[in-house]
Amino acid sequence: MCSSDLVEVDRDGHGLKARPPRSKWDRPWDAKAFGTEPSRVAEVTALSAASTLAEQIRRIGGGRPCLVVAHSMGGAVATAAAEAAPELFAGLVYVCAYAPVSGRPAAAYETSPENAGEMTHELLGADPSKIGGARIDTGDAGRHDLIRETFYNDLDVDTATAAISLLSTDGPAGIPATAFEVTKARYGAIRHAYVMCARDNMVRPALQRRLIKEIDAVSARPTVVTELDSSHS
């Protein structure tokens, strides 16, 4: 096992690797430009981000296997990394995360019947297929109630507002659009766990249960499941 220290890493296109559209900062505000400017993280895919993640794990663990925890769309990245470099994974824990192990891209799950009631698409300020990113206008205070209900519905308003200020404007559309295959011999040999979030309005509980079943179908041992009465984030 690698060090017991908790090390947080930024997924490509997020955190300190975020590249917000320049129109986000325009004054006066130009809604048309914000809705049409190509995303600066459009080149990021699940496979390119998985390569980055594998290198991060290798560096943090000094080549020894680490327990990897993946949240939300980070699950697609971690799944691809686990297939590519299973020797780096002591285990993989999904937290209300996408786990596209069936050969379908994560985007196919977003619009599945099991995800009915998800609110993410109501937040989008542009067409991801046209700009290459899932863009949210976090600067519009009038949309904060919707953002809070989507991601932070178990938090008080002040805490949720602080969290909203940390959100990346663009999420790379290439991550959910990427399809890849996993195998029982590589991905399936890793221990998996899944933390379900019962109040999740991005990855709905029914979809989380479907993902767990699909993980089990390609795994050597059952997924360990824990359920929390919490929102997506």
- Residues 107-160: pLDDT tens digits? 999 999 999 999 999 999 999 999 999 999 999 999 999 999 999 999 999 999
Q: How far is CA 49 from CA 12, 17, 53, 56, 75, in A?
A: 6, 11, 6, 11, 11
Q: What is the pTM of this model?
A: 0.95
Alpha-helix residue ranges (DSSP H) falling in 179-231: 205-217
CB under 8 Å to 73, separation ≥6 — which residues? 11, 97, 98, 106, 171, 175, 176
pLDDT at 5 over 90: no
Length of the chain, please?
233
140 vs 39: CA distance, rounded Å = 19
pLDDT at 1 over 70: no
- Residues 205-223: pLDDT tens digits? 999 999 999 999 999 999 9
